[in-house]
Amino acid sequence: MLGMGEPVTGEEGFPIPYTPLKPFGPAVAELAGTGVHGAAANEQALGGGEQPGANSITFQEAQEILSGVQKLKGGVYLIGDIVERGYTDSSVEIGLEKAIDKATITNAVRDTKLYGRIRWSSTIPTTGAMQVAGPQAA
């Protein structure tokens, strides 16, 4: 029997076998996703590759938002890493056939993930661009 104020150590007073705690380093690594069971292991199990983060915008999200914009005069194209990787962590590069569509899109995406993250391009490259909205978008 222990007296008041005496520390509990060892196996005394424990109904299950005593297991000493391991150092915090491995536990912190697991919580950070860098341990043997964390994100690194999940990435290998999924075949490697990068995954979008919480603040990323995927190609599908951008396409859905832009395809819902009404009264466009020309084609709207997604350009750059969002087309190449399927998502972007930074700004979404958009190319326009008609400059007048810039104001239409800006007003239409005001309540979406795209608002404030668009980088306008004055040219549309012949490769690496996908038309997602406009009169002839499929």
Q: Are residues 66 and 124 in the same domain?
A: yes
How many angstroms separate the Cα of 129 from the Cα of each of 23, 36, 124?
Answer: 51, 39, 7
* Structural domain boundaries, residue 28: 11-49
Q: Are residues 38 and 102 in the same domain?
A: no
| pLDDT tens-digit series, residues 48-65 | 456 667 788 999 999 999
Q: Are residues 122 and 101 in the same domain?
A: yes
37 burial level (CB within 10 Å; 0-12, 13-18, 19+): exposed
Closest CA to 80 of 135, 113, 118: 118
Please indicate, yes or no, if residue 44 is contained in any of the structural domains. Answer: yes
Please indicate, yes or no, if residue 83 is contained in any of the structural domains. Answer: yes
Please indicate, yes or no, if residue 138 is contained in any of the structural domains. Answer: no
SS3 string, 68-107, reads: CCCCCCCCEEEECHHHHCCEECCCEEEEECCCCHHHHHHH
Please indicate, yes or no, if residue 34 is contained in any of the structural domains. Answer: yes
Number of domains in the chain: 2
Question: Taking 50 as the threshold, does the pLDDT of residue 88 lie above it?
Answer: yes
What average pLDDT does this structure show over 119-133?
Answer: 86
Q: Which pair of tokens denotes residue 78?
A: 């997604």
Q: Are residues 26 and 76 in the same domain?
A: no
Cα–Cα distance between 110 and 121 in angstroms, integer? 19
pLDDT of residue 100: 92
Rg (CA), the chain: 26
Q: The pTM is what?
A: 0.60
